[in-house]
């Protein structure tokens, strides 16, 4: 039981982000705000940011161990694919392979890469 209770708080950020992503992708197209001139950049940037944060949340589950970076990336991209499939059932929305393969994938890779190098630099700067 003790081990279970130590795992639950590590899962909370990932579950919360998955819920938020699901909620946003459940909105019909006529309920989504539009940003004239910036719509594409804001929405695709939100994809990258959201899945970057999700990849980091998955990495947190595994205590940010180096061997779990690939798994964290795979989980983020997998969730992205399932969410795009879910979105195909929402009125006025459609699934986009480009969102998964380009924007969500890039966000996850960028966040995990930044985390890796930030952590590496932090370890190098620690006193011996």
CA-derived radius of gyration, the chain: 17
Q: Containing H/E element for 75?
A: helix 69-87
Give residue-wise pLDDT tens across range 46-103.
999 999 999 999 999 998 889 999 999 999 999 999 999 999 999 999 999 999 999 9
**pTM confidence score:** 0.91
Residue 74's nearest CA partner among 88, 90, 94, 54 is: 54
Instruction: Work out the end-to-end distance of the chain between its first and last CA atoms, rounded to an integer number of angstroms.
Output: 37
């Amino acid at each position: 039981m003790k081990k279970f209770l130590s795992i639950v708080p590590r899962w909370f950020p990932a579950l919360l982000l998955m819920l938020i992503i699901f909620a946003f992708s459940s909105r019909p197209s006529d309920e989504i705000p539009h940003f004239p001139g910036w719509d594409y950049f804001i929405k695709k940037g939100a994809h990258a940011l959201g899945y970057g944060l999700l990849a980091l949340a998955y990495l947190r589950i595994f205590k940010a161990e180096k061997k779990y970076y690939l798994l964290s990336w795979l989980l983020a991209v997998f969730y992205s694919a399932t969410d795009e499939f879910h979105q195909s059932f929402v009125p006025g929305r459609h699934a986009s392979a480009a969102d998964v393969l380009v924007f969500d994938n890039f966000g996850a890779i960028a966040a995990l890469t930044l985390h890796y190098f930030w952590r590496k630099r932090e370890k190098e700067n620690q006193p011996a």
